Structure 1
Amino acid sequence: MIAKLLIANRGEIACRIMRTAREMGVATVAVYSDADAKALHVRSADEAVHIGPSPAAESYLVGEKIIAAAKETGAEAIHPGYGFLSENAGFAQAVIDAGLIWVGPKPESIRAMGLKDAAKGRMIAAGVPVTPGYLGEDQSVERLTKEADAIGYPVLIKAVAGGGGKGMRKVEQAENFAADLESCRREAKASFGNDEVLLEKWITSPRHIEVQVFGDAHGNVVHLFERDCSLQRRHQKVIEEAPAPGMDEATREEICAAAVRAAKAVDYEGAGTIEFIADASEGLRADRIFFMEMNTRLQVEHPVTEEITGVDLVEWQLRVASGEPIPVKQEELSMNGWAIEARLYAEDPAKGFLPSTGRLDHLELVGDRVETGVEERDDISPFYDPMIAKLISWGEDREEAIKGLLDSCLGTEVEPVRTNAWFLARLLAEASFREGDLSTGFIGENQDRLIDPPVASHALLQAAADELVSEQHSDDESYMLKSLRGLRLNRRPEHSVRLRVDGETQTVELSDQEVWEGYVRTLVREGDVRTLFENGAAFKVSSDRNEAGGATSAADGAILAPMPGKVIAVDVAEGDAVTAGQRLMVLEAMKMEHALTAPFDGTVTELSASTGGQVQVEAVLCVVEPSE
């Protein structure tokens, strides 16, 4: 067995791997960048090695530094987690060439499945059904446009390298193809160093079904059943569950057998996932489920598989990497109950899901199982993925599992960083989701309704108002937590209080008729300004003394940077006439592209942004003067 393990990753997955390693008596080594010097994964490891500046390209993506850290600390093996270098065959080979153990599949298996076009060719040869599309070597705009026309719209452009929704676009109409192709290629080049793409027919009623597989060096391959990852936004998974709703035993047997064939076709070792797209227009049927790609690593959503099978997949990874066979045979694996996971992100759904960075001054996460890489007072950095935690719930059946996860989302408290907790709660409460009517397009089709900004309930504001007017504030300006469970409002109905709620004035009448029985926690700081948490959302509340509050906003037409980032494209020049909704520029931040558009018809009168420039949050990038 491996005695010392270096984890070539950060955040929650690094902490997750360390937990199992610790239970197995394996010593751990963390690596960290400047931004992560005080991160939880660094504090949790037995040893830690600094590997460079904050940008991943100068630290976590530099394989030579990671291998050197392993050598320096005497680590015998390297576990890549997911993301970063986890599916980089060159890095895997370099680890092996350095005399270290690579906790993952053989480099040739990664190469075989790393490029989606070549992988689909292998699957066809192995008898695994694939989605119709174009896999050709001719990558000219003319040829791709011709093939897209032949396939028929809508069509999906997909980077042949990488994953996680990067370099992927659904194109609805032919006139949008060239622009979307350019965007895909640029994003794929930045993320994976490869701008080649393939085309696939867009499935009109798609479900994302994936199968967990596991192989060893002794020729054994097993599956650990399926997961449903259909609730997605911009091809990024949001909620995952196991097993898949509506999956009958015959279809499960066929799709899992196909996944095992796929893994055996590349002589697979370790943990991997075979991803399928299902045409669910007539329910889940084996003849309408097609291979999409293989992820040659541990998946973000692996906890739901662990919860229904009782298997620790990281333990299996370490044992198989040490040369041991898979601990059980296929017939010994079974499913028990239902598990569901939600990805809690530092982002603001009400503002287009823009990432939210900063210090976690207050952090309260609840649930059956919480996987996180941060603690209270840690920072959410602009340099990496904005995930705060994964919330996982298990139940005897799907309804019980969903209820547990819903309670976790409703009880989430984060301040001052914004999160998607209330958005997740809305998804979980959706009737169609509860009924198992899933689709990868569901969030996009219902986004306007799902991301309406949450509004504090009248009862909550009454509770806040009652406390503000009746309680003497402490002289201590440090944070205090006060529970308002079951607070009875005992003031007269005619008494009213003016509050500032998220910068807006509201008048609240205090009544002795209403009792607030919900769960609210009040974070009090600096006088009467406090944050109230309700149903996964946070509201800043204070008494209104008719003072002008809030920061000065930019003039109408000023285009502000929504977050720190890099300008990767500027589409206009000073003096250009623009129309409402026209793209002005593209900002890259938190590993994603964000298009900034004109708020109305007008003329660009000022332009301070330039391609390649770094900008800070709320910097004025350009000004559009409205048309007369």
Structure 2
Amino acid sequence: MFEKILIANRGEIALRIHRACREMGIRTVAVHSVADADAMHVRLADESVCIGPAPSRESYLNMPAIISAATITGADAIHPGIGFLSENARFAAMVEEHGFTFIGPAPDHLSLMGDKVQAKDAAIRFGIPVVPGSEGEVKDEVDAKRWAKKIGYPILIKAAAGGGGKGMRVANDESEISQAWSMARSEAMKSFGNDAVYMEKYLSHPRHIEIQILADNHGNVVHLGERDCSLQRRHQKLVEEAPSPALNSKQRAEIGEIASAAMRKMGYRSVGTIEFLFQDGEFYFIEMNTRLQVEHPVTEMITGIDLVREQIRVASGAPLGMTQADISFNGHAIECRINAENPETFAPSPGRVTEFHAPGGLGVRVDSALYGGYRVPPHYDSLIAKLIVHGRSRNECMMRLRRALEEMVINGIHTSIPVHRRIIGAPDFLNGSYDIRWLEKFVAEQQA
């Protein structure tokens, strides 16, 4: 097992990783930008190293600085956390080349699943159902119109190297192809430095379902059920729950086994999440996230399995300590992502937190690096806390969540807590009848 792990991230996820390491008896190294010098994980880690100024490109994306920090502190391994360099194949390879263990998948798997076109081709090879679409990159407008006619309208044009909803445009008929194709390419180049796009069928009312995978270096793979991540605004998840209200036990077992079998064929190692669109009883592959997910706590709550701990164990070479038969799903869990945003305009709201009170009680968990007096910097993602609630049933879970949101206090800045209170009181959420477009409509109606 590792003796010292460098955590190449910030915020609540860095603290989450530190906690897992501490419980495993592993020492930690926190790297941080100048803006994060007073961050909670920096205060708690055994050692800390400043790796650059506030901008991410000069600190948390600065590969040489992170490698240097690992070298001077004598770390055994580097945990990339979520975002930043967590799915960067070049960084993973650099980590291994310098004699450290990358706590994540092999670089070639990061590279494969980091390209949407290659990932879809791999999914087909491994027996994962996919959305009907183009065979690889769409080269020009003529090619785009040919594929659209074959796929059938409406179609979705997507950035091959994309994510977070960037580089995506819908065309409802041939007259909209030209503009959608050029806009998707332009945004893809601006956001990812790669203007390659591909096309697929546009689904009108799908849910976003993802399957959590855990695999070791010895060919063992298990799935830990699904998460429903359909409550999204501008392709950014706001509320997640497990299990999904839309699936039955048969569907859950079938898609879980398909995902597990695919990862065995790939020879995958580490945690991973295979994301699907689910509509009219059918699953369609979207992408695979080759890292820990923001919403991983809901899976931990219903399975009792510490995903970060297992991720570290697997990276050290240990086999999984469980089989699929050992995994059971107990009760229901919901996560609310609390962002430092104006609840009406959704504009970022950085600044000093004058008061912070986390709710507690049975079945309530808060993952956050906030504390009274902490200054939320304007340079990074607006996520500042995750409120995760567990109950024996979905109804009990929702009642507990309502109570926890009433107790939660974050003063000094605006947060999304009022939005969450409105969402969980909506009839469509209460009865579980929502899809990936529901939240956009709900927010628009609230603002009208």
Q: 1:74 to 1:191 in 2, by over 3 A?
A: farther
SS at match of 2:413: coil
Amino acid at match of 2:370: V
Structure 1 match to 2:31: 31
Cα distance change of structure 1 residues 188 and 380 upon mapping to structure 2, 3 Å threshold:
farther
User: What is the distance in 2 between the residues matched to 1:420 and 1:403?
Assistant: 19
Report SS of the residue matched to 1:307.
Answer: helix
Q: Is it true that 1:301 corresponds to 2:324 in the alignment?
A: no
Q: TM-score, normalised by structure 2?
A: 0.94
1:382 Cα shift?
Answer: 1.9
SS in structure 1 opposite 2:344? helix
Task: Supply the distance in 2 between the matched residues of 1:181 and 1:58 (Cα, whole angstroms).
Answer: 33
Aligned to 1:419: 415
Paired residues of 1:349 and 1:451 also in contact (CA < 8 A): no
1:482-540 Cα deviation digits (max 9, x unpaired) = xxxxxxxxxxxxxxxxxxxxxxxxxxxxxxxxxxxxxxxxxxxxxxxxxxxxxxxxxxx
Cα distance change, pair 379–177 in 1 and its aligned pair in 2 (3 A):
farther
- Contact preservation (8 Å) 1:109, 1:267: no
Whether the 8 Å contact between 2:30 and 2:47 is mirrored in structure 1 is yes
Show the 5 A alignment for 1:527-606. none
Map of 1:429 onto structure 2: 425
Question: Following TM superposition, by how much is the alpha carbon of 1:411 offset from its aligned partner in structure 2, in angstroms?
Answer: 3.0
Structure 1 residues 34-45: aligned runs within 5 Å: 34-45=34-45
Deviation, 1:362, is 2.4
Q: With structure 1 as the length reference, what TM-score do the two structures score? A: 0.68
1:310-459 to 2 correspondence within 5 Å?
310-351=304-345, 353-367=346-360, 368-451=364-447
Asked if the contact 2:117/2:160 (under 8 Å) is kept, the reply is yes
Letter in 2 for 1:304: V
User: 1:488-499 residue pairs with structure 2 within 5 A?
Assistant: none
Decide whether aligned partners of structure 1 residues 310 and 100 sit closer, same or farther in structure 2, where only a CA change above 3 A counts.
same
Shift of 1:185: 4.0
Deviations 1:445-468 (A, max 9, x none): 22222346xxxxxxxxxxxxxxxx
- Amino acid in the other structure paired with 2:371: E
Q: Deviations over 1:36-84 (max 9, x none)?
A: 1222221121111111121111111121111111001001000011101
Q: 1:429 to 1:4 in 2, by over 3 A?
A: same
Amino acid paired to 1:82: I
Query: Distance in 2 between the 1:247 and 1:8 partners?
Result: 36
Does the CA contact (< 8 Å) of 1:423 and 1:450 recur in 2?
Answer: no
* CA distance, structure 1, for counterparts of residue 187 and residue 376 of structure 2: 23
Q: Quick one: distance in 1 between partners of 2:182 and 2:22?
A: 46
Cα-to-partner distance string for 1:559-612 (whole Å, 9 max, x where unaligned):
xxxxxxxxxxxxxxxxxxxxxxxxxxxxxxxxxxxxxxxxxxxxxxxxxxxxxx
User: What's the offset of the Cα at 1:316?
Assistant: 0.4
Query: Residues of 1 paired with 2:194 and 2:89: CA distance?
Result: 14
Contact 1:370-1:391 at 8 Å conserved across structures? yes
**Alignment check: 8 A CA contact 2:157 2:197 kept:** yes
Local SS of the residue matching 2:12: helix
Residues 501-516 of structure 1: matches in 2 within 5 Å?
none
Q: Kindly indicate whether the alpha-carbon contact (under 8 Å) linking 2:126 and 2:266 is maintained by their aligned counterparts in 1.
A: no
State the AA in 1 paired with 2:117: D
Cα distance in structure 2, aligned partners of 1:57 and 1:177: 35
8 Å CA contact retained: 1:336, 1:396: yes
The offset of 1:107, in angstroms, is: 0.8
> Which of 284, 290, 298 is the matching residue for 2:284?
290
- Measure, in 2, the Cα distance between the counterparts of 1:60 and 1:193: 19
Mapped to 2, the partners of 1:34 and 1:172 lie a distance apart of 47
Q: Do the aligned partners of residues 171 and 12 (structure 1) sit closer, same or farther apart at CA in structure 2, a change above 3 Å counting? A: farther
Partner of 2:227: 227
Distance 1:13 1:172, change over 3 A: farther
- 8 Å contact from structure 1 (residues 262, 274) kept in 2: no
Structure 1 unaligned spans of 5+: 453-628
Distance in 2, Cα, partners of 1:405 & 1:411: 10
The residue number in structure 2 matching 1:615 is none
Q: Amino acid of the residue matched to residue 302 of structure 1?
A: H
Query: What is the number of residues matched between the two proteins?
Result: 445
Q: Which amino acid aligns with 1:377?
A: G
Residue 355 of structure 1: how far off its partner (Å): 1.4
Deviation at 1:90, TM superposition (A): 0.9
- How many Å separate the matches in 2 of 1:382 and 1:405? 29
- Structure 2 SS opposite 1:48: strand
Percent of aligned positions with the same letter in both sequences? 48
Q: Structure 2 counterpart of 1:449, which letter?
A: E
1:555 corresponds to: none
Identify the structure with the greater helix proportion: 2
CA contact (8 A) 2:243 2:333 kept: yes
Query: Structure 1 residue 269: deviation in Å?
Result: 0.3
Corresponding letter in the other structure for 1:295: N
Contact 1:276 1:291 in 2 (8 A): yes
User: Helix, strand or coil: the match of 2:32?
Assistant: strand
Structure 2 counterpart of 1:219, one-letter code = G
Question: Could you tell me whether the CA contact under 8 Å between 1:410 and 1:421 is conserved in 2?
Answer: no
Amino acid across the alignment from 1:450 = Q
Q: 1:64-463, aligned counterparts within 5 Å?
A: 64-144=64-144, 146-148=146-148, 150-172=150-172, 178-280=178-280, 285=281, 288-351=282-345, 353-367=346-360, 368-451=364-447
Give 3-state SS (helix, strand or coil) of 1:354's partner. coil
State the Cα distance separating 1:149 from its structure 2 match. 5.5
**Contact 1:96 1:102 survives alignment (8 Å):** yes
CA shift, 1:303, in A, is: 0.2
Letter in 2 for 1:251: Q
Change (3 A) 1:62 1:145: farther
Larger Rg: 1
Of structures 1 and 2, the one scoring higher in RCO (CA 8 A, sep 6+) is 2
